[in-house]
Structure 1
Amino acid sequence: MIDMDFSRRDFVASGAAALGAAALSASAEAAPRGKRRKLAPSDTVNVAIIGAGGMGNNNANNLVSQNIVALADVDFEHVARAFLDDKGQPNPERDPLKAKYDAAAKYADYRRMFDAQKDIDAVVIATPDHHHAAAAKMAMERGLHVYVQKPMAYSVHEGRLLLDLARKNPKLVTQMGNQGHSGDDGRRVVELIRGGVIGRVREVHVWTNRPVWPQGIAKPDPVDTPASLDWDMWLGPASVDWGYNPDYGHFNWRGWVPFGVGALGDMGAHLIDFPVWALEPGLPTRIESRHSRWGGDTNPWDRAGPEVLTSYPLASVTHYEFANAPGGPVTMIWYDGGLMPPTPKGIPSSRLDPGGGVMFVGETGYLIHETYGENPILFGEGVADKAAAIPVSLPRISGGIGGHEMNWIRAIRGEEGISNPFEMAVPLNETMVLGMVAMKADQPIAYDGRAVAVTNVLGANQYLTREYRKGWEL
């Protein structure tokens, strides 16, 4: 459990005033619409997929044993391509899922799906980031279990809102789609760090080779929208009037400010997960980001940055300080864009995977693992013997990393505990997106998690939430 400088019960309630208590409370207390089915272990779950191509298709493929009753997507031609192989030929391995998709009801607008489809038990949300909270809120208000791809929310405000909903509807099973949280290796990392295998940890380095999508550039000119794509629905909550360009669509949205949260928000859910889980440091108290230039529409080389931010910097280093960690202050440093920490003396540089990883620096050694918590390696005198003596204490998830989706199903049916519910996912998500707040503030920020406020740069508080297009307000 994450031990913050205040209790979990206080996590949302104490900050409600700072983020608009009336709106937050009204959303969270909305009564579920309709009667939720009570599911037994022998039942199959009726699942809807919002964002049915790309990652949503992969999630659905792991749920093919369930009833996929509805799909919501803005481009079903794109969805159809998910059933082809690299040569554009039908992929027989996906035939079972294709049969489920063919039989499912189809909608361009998930709001209409929620209104029309009364047989849904649970919803997978695998849209671009800017839709996550809107879709999850609508689903939870209707009494539906939710699996939300990472990051589960675009902003601090959205995360707190969803956590408040989850707490006020405790029978709903929630899961963030960072599958490494269900892996055996990642759980062993947490056990080893908590067991003191490398002594007290005061410093952690986290890195990724992302972005592998456009960043650090101005937005391109609009082009004709494909006939199969509902671009207005794709824009959804985003308060921008950008015309279509394939540089935003389907995968590349991650790097564009109105739609995604950059490399930190995308991969932090996998990588920062383990330090936050193992060390339980609470929320960060000081964050500073150093980065390459922003992408923007006006004067991108000005030191003050472009007038209109359009895409995130291509590379950044973000320093987090956790002053209230129970064992004493902890520093975590994030690197993206292919940047990496220096290699400690005595450790082969090949042990730091350039694709991404985490390095815990302890008093008596190091623990290094890859992106999803996999392949942990220990360095230090006597650490192997210490590791062997540290017992297994966390439950293992059936199927490990590949079982993350079915863990959610089994939890809905009461068969297994949920791997990463919003209670755990929101503090992680908040830590990630606070890095984006510091990046936008362009100076170090001091953060009070109890008040949900940046205390030293008051103008940065605007970045704890975001503007919404009319009709999409949360």
Structure 2
Amino acid sequence: MSTVNNSRRSFLKKSAVVATGISIVPRHVLGKGFTAPSDKLNIAVIGGGGKGRSDAMNAWNKGASHISAICDVDWNMSKDLMNKFPKAKKFRDYRRLFDEVQDIDAVTVSTPDHTHAIITLTAMQLGKHVYVQKPLTHNIHEARVLTEAANKYKSVTQMGNQGASSDGTKQLIKWFDQGVIGKVNTVEVWTNRPVWPQGIKSPLDKPKMIDGLAWDVWVGPAKMVDYHPLYHPFKWRGWWNFGTGALGDMGCHLIDPPFRVLGLGHPTEVESSVGAVFSSDWTADYLPDSCPPSSRTQLKFKATKKNPVDVKLTWSDGGIRPFHPDLIPADHSIGNKDSSNGVLMIGEKGIMTCGTYGQEPKVYLNSGELLTSSKRLFNNKLPESGHQIFWTEACKAGFGSKEHKSLTSSFDYAGPLTESLLIGNLAIRSYLEKTGNKFNGRKKLLWDRENLRVTNFNEANKFVSRKYREGWKLEI
């Protein structure tokens, strides 16, 4: 493993970066422990539209931090944020930003999944602290790289699965640690995603490019394709070239509570089945470029100190969800209020359930008793800003500080979580692969975490990492 580079740059020695026409100076060269005026963080925003806008506003925190620069390949998406911070320097290429704005303390990365790793690693190598939207990375190998890099470059990090910092998740942990539901061997997790097109054929037409869109930068390390509105600005999630499907989109939110509550490690095996659209009788469209319209995946975890029995965790998406447990009254929702997303942790003494971000936590005991949180959880509205405020305060306190160690989704946690849920995508993508008329990947996959590989179906291992487009490379 070594540094990120492209046709215009290569990193030399440790984290120093040099490129034709561009020279990025590492933070430590400017002065170790640089402090912004008035103890405010200087923050660069990379990806300022949609979720990126709220990430920026939460990090800014009504002026507690300073937005120094905004980078977006499509300024149409970021115009509201750019208008909010007219003095912030504006860029379409994050590499130019890092080259020209050198007094940055921290970076928010709210771009499509396929560019998370290269931008984040670049920032850490230049001495920046980083907040990255979920999922942490596009593939398992990238998650391992960023986890190792955060410690190497002493970067204060946080992934954007904001429910990790919610009172609901804390309540779930408290109940489980008190032994309220006993040992858990079955977990059900589900989502109504995708709420974008999936299981569709790749577009062949070539519509006019959006004015000012830096398409080459948007594609980044992925395989080059022509611009199409089925990719940008929102629908990229349904294409393996850029996104990670419903599991990648919502898994970091929904799998986080059981992962955290039960102290789960890495899965040892995984198996998937997927839905399909039939274009004619007996002819299913299993399209390897597009994520499937629905899927069901089972991950198996070994017993842990917190939960001394093996666990089967079943993920369902595309509107498929588990049936209503007998223990929960028929007129009660499971998961969210409309039961569209949720988690069930089924224990010896009862069932613990919650919504998307650990919200609305409840316990239905075998005795018939119902436990709910004693707190009004922000009127059921997630205190999303807190997750990022904790990060900005940790950035000020520094790597290894009490504030840093108390973060709920720094990369030492977010990396293994992302690895674990993306193992599900190994099975989903293998399911779609075929040789001739035979689908070879419809089998249980055995996982070797130490070596990052499937041991019983080598074809699946090509999805552990990806081949980067020429000129792009990811290395520590």
TM-score class, shorter = 0.7 to 0.9
**Using a 3 Å threshold, how does the CA distance of structure 1 residues 194 and 141 change in structure 2: closer, same or farther?**
same
2:410 aligned with 1:421, yes or no?
Answer: yes
Which of 405, 410, 419 aligns to 1:430? It is 419
| CA shift in 2, pair 1:284/1:304, >3 Å | farther
Q: Which residue of 2 aligns with 1:330?
A: 311
2:169 to 180, 186, 197: 186
1:154 aligns with 2:138: yes
Is the Cα contact below 8 Å between 2:192 and 2:320 reproduced in 1?
yes
Distance across 2 between alignment mates of 1:188 and 1:51: 33
After superposition, residues 51-450 of structure 1 pair within 5 angstroms as 51-64=47-60, 65=63, 66-80=65-79, 83=80, 100-170=84-154, 172-220=155-203, 221-239=205-223, 241-293=224-276, 305-306=286-287, 309-326=288-305, 327-349=308-330, 350-352=332-334, 353=336, 354-381=339-366, 400-414=383-397, 416=403, 417-442=406-431, 443-450=443-450
Measured in 2, the distance between the counterparts of 1:300 and 1:452 equals: 40
Deviation at 1:135, TM superposition (A): 0.2
TM-score normalised to the size of structure 1?
A: 0.83
Q: Report how many residues are paired.
A: 423
Q: Equivalent pairs: percent with the same residue?
A: 40
TM-score, normalised via structure 2 length: 0.83
Q: CA deviation at 1:413?
A: 1.3
Give the C-alpha shift of residue 201 in structure 1: 0.5
The one-letter code matched in structure 2 to 1:420 is S
For the residue of structure 2 that corresponds to 1:462, the secondary structure is helix
Contact 1:294 1:312 in 2 (8 A): no
Residue type at the aligned position of 1:351:
S
Q: Kindly indicate whether the alpha-carbon contact (under 8 Å) linking 2:364 and 2:370 is maintained by their aligned counterparts in 1.
A: no
Cα offsets for 1:342-381 (capped at 9, x unmatched):
1111313442233201000000100110000001111014
Shift of 1:224: 1.0
Distance 1:383 1:413 in 2: 48
Tell me how far 1:425 sits from its aligned partner. 0.4
- For 2:15 and 2:351, the matched residues in 1 are separated by 49
Q: Identify the residue that residue 87 of structure 1 maps to in structure 2.
A: none
Query: What amino acid sits opposite 2:258 in the alignment?
Result: P
Q: Which runs of 5+ in 2 are unaligned?
A: 5-9, 17-25, 375-381, 432-442
- The CA distance in 2 between the partners of 1:173 and 1:316, in whole Å, is 35
SS in structure 1 of the partner of residue 111 of structure 2: coil
Change (3 A) 1:388 1:271: closer
Q: Is the 8 A contact 1:174 1:421 kept in 2?
A: yes
Deviation at 1:310, TM superposition (A): 1.8
Indicate the residue corresponding to 2:464 in structure 1: 464
Counterparts of 1:72 and 1:300, CA distance in 2: 48
Q: Cα deviations across residues 100-152 of structure 1 (Å, max 9, x unaligned)?
A: 53111111110111112111110000000000001001000001000000001
In the TM superposition, what is the alpha-carbon distance from 1:228 to its structure 2 partner?
2.4
* Pairing 1:49–2:45 present: yes
The letter of the residue matching 2:194 is: P
Matched-pair contact (CA < 8 Å) for 1:198–1:362: yes
Q: What residue identity is the alignment partner of 1:232? A: D
Q: Structure 1: any 5+ residue segments left out of the alignment?
A: 1-20, 84-96, 390-398
Higher strand share: 2
Name the CA shift for 1:383/1:465 in 2 (closer, same or farther; >3 Å): farther
C-alpha RMSD of matched pairs (Å)? 2.8
Q: Structure 2: which amino acid aligns with 1:319?
A: Q
Deviations 1:218-245 (A, max 9, x none): 1222211111211111111112x32111
Give yes or no for contact 1:28–1:168 (8 Å, CA) kept in 2: no
- Tell whether the 8 Å contact from 2:362 to 2:372 is kept in structure 1 after alignment: no
